[in-house]
């Protein structure tokens, strides 16, 4: 009995944790099943109606088939419906279930996205307040030393610097927000910053992915959901640290974190 309770609990937890995926999968399967069942029901219904319309019913109740060319197509829409509706009951039920699954999946995804955006906004505000307070208490060399130590710790925890192929004149760089190594120059990074802010001035906003694309890096899901606006332009902090193997490395970080409400679609 205890084993069954454990299985039941784990199954419930699995369904709860993967509800969106399960609903989406159900919507996909349901869409295909609805199409197949509807096609079969339509074919069967057409056969039933054709056979019924080819019957000739005599007053004595005896039926016999007649020539299709001379058949009287006298079934009303109501009579046709009563003949075939049982065959469409399952496709209709499957379709309704599919629509419900899709709607629920969309709602749950929207709720999760809203929750994540709210959590990110709260973390962003807390981080900004923390940075401001640190800046008030620590100035000069102490502040810079803490920044460099934090950047150094993050680099030490992030492998992959040995996989970067260098071109002459470029140096190893580390993007702290996404935890990625890349090779570039200070001039290239500053050009990417200027291009991103120009995009903000020209169009009113720019996603963080725009900046990473200018750097020659791949886009990320997170960077596509956050960005910059005229009151929150892109500014970077630069720290010079040592990557594994004592290789010089430039670590970059946002002075102000990009916002989730940067794009008109979030208004």
Tell me the pLDDT tens digit for each residue of 5-36: 565 666 666 656 666 777 777 777 778 888 88
| Token pair for 15 | 């369904």
* Cβ proximity of 254 and 236 under 8 Å: yes
* pLDDT tens-digit series, residues 49-83: 777 767 645 444 444 444 444 444 566 778 777 87
Q: Domain limits of the chain?
A: 2-118, 138-266
Answer whether residue 138 shows pLDDT above 80: no
For the ranges 36-45, 107-116, 138-147, 179-188, the one whose mean pLDDT is highest: 179-188
- Answer yes or no: pTM beyond 0.85: no
Cβ within 8 Å of residue 73, ≥6 positions away: 53
């Amino acid at each position: 009995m205890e084993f069954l309770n454990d299985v039941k609990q784990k199954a419930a937890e699995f369904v709860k944790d993967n509800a969106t995926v399960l609903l989406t999968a159900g919507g996909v399967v349901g869409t295909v099943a609805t199409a197949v069942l509807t096609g079969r029901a339509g074919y069967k219904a057409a056969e039933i109606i054709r056979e019924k319309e080819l019957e000739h019913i005599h007053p004595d109740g005896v039926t016999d088939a007649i020539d299709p060319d001379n058949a009287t197509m006298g079934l009303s829409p109501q009579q046709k419906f009563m003949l075939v509706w049982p065959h469409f009951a399952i496709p209709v039920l499957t379709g309704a279930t599919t629509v419900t699954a899709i709607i629920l999946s969309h709602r749950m995804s929207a709720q999760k996205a809203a929750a994540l955006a709210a959590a990110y906004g709260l973390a962003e505000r807390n981080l900004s307040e923390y940075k401001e307070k640190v800046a008030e208490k620590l100035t000069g060399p102490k502040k810079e030393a803490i920044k460099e130590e934090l950047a150094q710790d993050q680099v030490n925890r992030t492998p992959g610097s040995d996989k970067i192929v260098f071109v002459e004149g470029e140096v190893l760089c580390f993007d702290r927000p996404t935890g990625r190594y890349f090779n570039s120059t200070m001039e290239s990074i500053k050009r990417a910053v200027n291009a991103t802010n120009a995009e903000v001035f020209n169009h009113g906003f720019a996603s963080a992915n725009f900046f990473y694309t200018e750097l020659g890096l791949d886009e990320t899901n997170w960077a596509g959901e956050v960005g910059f606006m005229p009151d929150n332009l892109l500014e970077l902090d630069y720290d010079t640290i040592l990557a594994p193997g004592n290789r010089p490395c430039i670590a970059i970080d946002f002075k102000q974190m990009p916002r989730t409400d940067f794009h008109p679609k979030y208004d």
